[in-house]
Chain A
Amino acid sequence: MNMLLAIPLVVPLLGAAVTLLLRGVPRAQQIVGALTLSVVIVDAALLLARTADGTVVTTQAGAWAAPLGITLVADPMAALLLLVSSVVLLIVLLYAIGQDIGGLSRATPQVFHPTYLVLTAGVCLSFIAGDLFNLFVGFEIMLTASYALITQAPTRARVRASMIYTVVSLTSSILFLTGIALVYALTGTVNMADIAEKLGAAPPELRMVLALLFFVVFGIKAAIVPMHFWLPDSYPVALTRISAIFAALLTKVAVYAIIRTQTLLFFRDDISDVLLWVAIATMVVGILGALVQDDVNRVMSFALVSHIGFMIFGLGVGTAAGLAGAVFYLVHHIIVQATLFLVNGLMRQYVGHTSLRAIRGLTTVSPALALFFFLPALSLAGLPPMSGFVAKVALFEAGFAEGSPLVLAGIVAGLLTSLLTLIAVFRIWTRAFWGTPLPDMVEAKERLRNGANLGGLRFMTTMTGVMVAVGLFVAVAAGPLASIGFTAAEGLVNGDAYIEAVLGEGAR
């Protein structure tokens, strides 16, 4: 157990150090990066195998007992997300490697590889942190790396976007730290299991304030309406590999933190009405934003905001079924969003930009690209038999079972959002993929076909295909995944197993 829980943290950091030493030897950096992430994947798979039946595994760093020391915890939800994230991280890294081999990117490899692995360590730590302060540390590791990544290959637009991104993230971090200080003042501990025990004695009003404060903190990072404005301004301008990872993981880590804190710490305080209102607003505002954008990346960024609403909706429903839906939606959305951003990156390779005004007939230029866009786009809109359909059905079923008016309103908003998502992706489809290609696009294709970087491009396309295949696999394996999701959700609704695993037997 010690080993399994430590590896996702130690190995990426070690890999980052080695890639930093290997600056100037890009090939070695690529190999070290890919190996590191493979180790994390294997480790996460073993963790998931260990926890799939609802077991919660822990390790106490330095053998210091729980409420005092640093505890690393993996429950089914953390292990599942760890596995999905590491798979996505590896595929995006391979995509980036293909791009570098083909000489198709202006990223600086000696900065990219170490920073990317540090980001991996931050993401992993956020998932397995057992106390609030280490959750904060995990977030900071992840964000600090992301500040460096977002300005890779700096242009005026990227520096401007990174300013917005950094300021917003720092604001949220300050609030996070304030929240931790308040919780510590109230309970005298930062260990989440211990807080869950001790918060019961605190005045309900204070608990409510803290619950809302933490919701705002992570809400900013998850880009929930009305705190979403920074995301469509910053993600689309970064390099493809960066925006793919940001869109897939960074917001989802924040959603994970929302689910973790609201279920484990603040389960007594019903802010589910707030959650449902916010979820409805997020879904509708996000997708309306997506409908009026003219740039594929910006459409996808607004769709990302919109679909965060579904996960918050699952949390707002509050039952085990709702949470299981939210967990499944997380998994589905991480993969689909990464795929769509990778496809946008390929589009940028072929056309040089992603503005819908000057793209026609991509289907003729690259049939594979069209297929790779079509499948995840359908999944995003939630058409059967894709994973998005399964996830949405799970959420709506949970909602119907709950049946309160606000939840029903949420279901209506969800259905409307799905429909509008379909319109948004078909808008891209009809404008960018149909029709006869513009003359300069044909020229660009010929240039690519005859260029020396064809191998790199093929590799990138293959990796995008692999990501699409992973998305399809989620739909195929929906049964087992849903059962893991259910186990995870039951662990979330009833925190006893988690608390006992961290604090030892007889804690409750």
Chain B
Amino acid sequence: MALEGSGAPRPRATAGGSSAGPPEGWEAPRERWLSTVVRPAFGPRSVLLEVAARLLIPAILTLSVFLLVSGHDRPGGGFAGGLVASMAYVLRYIAGGRHELAAGLPMRPNTLLALGMIVACGAAGVPLLFGRPILDTVKWEFTLPVFGDVKLLSALIFETGVFLIVVGLVLSVVAALGARMEAEEAEARQERAAEQARAARRRGGEKA
């Protein structure tokens, strides 16, 4: 990377002809920060953003699970957790573009949405089978070696469904309004380029 106008003396041109290349014998690192060949969603590629995304995404996802689990009687819950988790994917999309988003998704956003809805409706409806009102909750309390006293509620299943619904919904919005348009734009660009190439060939043919 050359630092243009930084005042440093410019390195002398090497035999390769590139004045801004890496020093001789330097090998580019093979591992990538993100999993696909990077083509960011907007603007030029930013290393800073890629590194930040790589470092932050696991933390964000962990936080989202924390919010999901702690949400019963403290701030959080499936909705908040789902939003936070989907932000991790949005960050990944902004840093790496639509292929990166696709690489990070286990399934189509719509499937995620449907699964979430089934889990949530199931959790809401199962108490009916036992003659209890809809959305009724069962509580289990027990002691685990490391965690200490644990309180587990069946409402957590419902919240998990909500979590999945929110992630699925945000991702389908990102897929529809971001990735899809990006893909269409790329297609249009390719077509334009092909058109120009054809036009250039025609002109060349006329001249010849």
Contact = CB atoms under 8 A, between A and B. Distances in A.
Q: Do A and B make up one complex?
A: yes
Interface of A: 2-3, 5-6, 9-10, 13-14, 16-18, 20-21, 23, 59-63, 70, 72, 114
B133 A17 contact: no
Nearest to B165: A17
Interface in B124-141: 124-125, 127-128, 131-137
Given A17-B114, A17-B117, A62 B125 contact: no
Nearest to B119: A17
Contact of B113 (A10, A18, A20, A62): A20
Contacts of B128: 2-3, 6, 10
B134 A6 contact: yes
B71 to A, nearest CB: 15
B179 to A, nearest CB: 18
B118 A61 contact: no
Contacts of A20: 110-111, 113-114, 117
A2 B134 contact: yes
Contacts of A5: 134
Interface string B160-201: 000000000000000000000000000000000000000000
A69 to B, nearest CB: 9
A21 B113 CA distance: 9
Given A2-B128, A3-B128, A14 B117 contact: yes
Nearest to A60: B133
B91 interface: no
A13 B116 CA distance: 11
Nearest to A2: B133
Contacts of A114: 114
List 10 A-B pairs, minimum CB-CB distance, nearest first. A17-B117, A20-B114, A6-B134, A62-B135, A14-B121, A21-B114, A61-B135, A10-B125, A17-B114, A17-B118
Nearest to A4: B128
Contacts of A6: 124-125, 128, 133-134
A62 B117 contact: no
Interface of B: 110-111, 113-118, 120-122, 124-125, 127-128, 131-137
Most chain B beta-carbon contacts within 10 A, residue among A9, A16, A17, A59 = A17
A88 B2 CA distance: 70
Contacts of A72: 134
Contacts of B121: 10, 13-14, 17
A23 B134 contact: no
A62 B137 contact: yes
B124 A10 contact: yes
Contacts of B136: 61-63
Contacts of B114: 17-18, 20-21, 114
Given A18-B114, A21-B115, 6 more contacts: A10-B121, A10-B124, A17-B115, A20-B113, A21-B111, A21-B114
Nearest to B127: A2
A366 B178 CA distance: 48
A14 B125 contact: yes
B173 to A, nearest CB: 13
Contacts of B124: 6, 10
A353 to B, nearest CB: 31
B118 A18 contact: yes
Given A3-B128, A6-B125, A20-B113, A62 B133 contact: yes
A148 to B, nearest CB: 12
Nearest to A10: B125
A10 B116 CA distance: 13
B117 A16 contact: yes
Given A2-B128, A21-B111, A23-B110, A10 B117 contact: no
Given A3-B128, A18-B118, A10 B111 contact: no
16 contacts: A2-B127, A2-B133, A6-B124, A10-B128, A10-B134, A14-B117, A14-B122, A17-B116, A17-B117, A20-B110, A20-B111, A20-B114, A21-B118, A60-B133, A61-B134, A70-B135
Nearest to B158: A62
Contacts of A60: 133
B62 to A, nearest CB: 28
A59 B133 contact: yes
B176 to A, nearest CB: 11
Contact of A2 (B120, B132, B137): B132
A13 B124 CA distance: 11
Contacts of B111: 20-21
A343 B134 CA distance: 40
Contacts of A21: 111, 114-115, 118
A294 B133 CA distance: 52
Nearest to B122: A14
Nearest to A22: B114
A18 B111 CA distance: 10
Nearest to A5: B134
Contacts of B133: 2, 6, 59-63
A3 B120 CA distance: 17
A60 B113 CA distance: 27
A2 B130 CA distance: 10
A424 to B, nearest CB: 41
B122 to A, nearest CB: 8
B189 to A, nearest CB: 24
Contacts of B125: 6, 10, 14
A407 to B, nearest CB: 43
A440 B132 CA distance: 62
A70 B113 CA distance: 24
Most chain A beta-carbon contacts within 10 A, residue among B110, B116, B131, B135 = B135
A16 B113 CA distance: 10
Given A10-B124, A10-B125, A14-B121, A63 B110 contact: no
B148 to A, nearest CB: 27
Nearest to A23: B110
A424 B122 CA distance: 49
B93 to A, nearest CB: 22
A6 B127 CA distance: 11
A62 B128 CA distance: 10
A129 to B, nearest CB: 13
A2 B131 contact: yes
Contacts of B135: 61-62, 70
A496 B121 CA distance: 33
Given A6-B125, A23-B110, A14 B134 contact: no
A3 B136 CA distance: 12
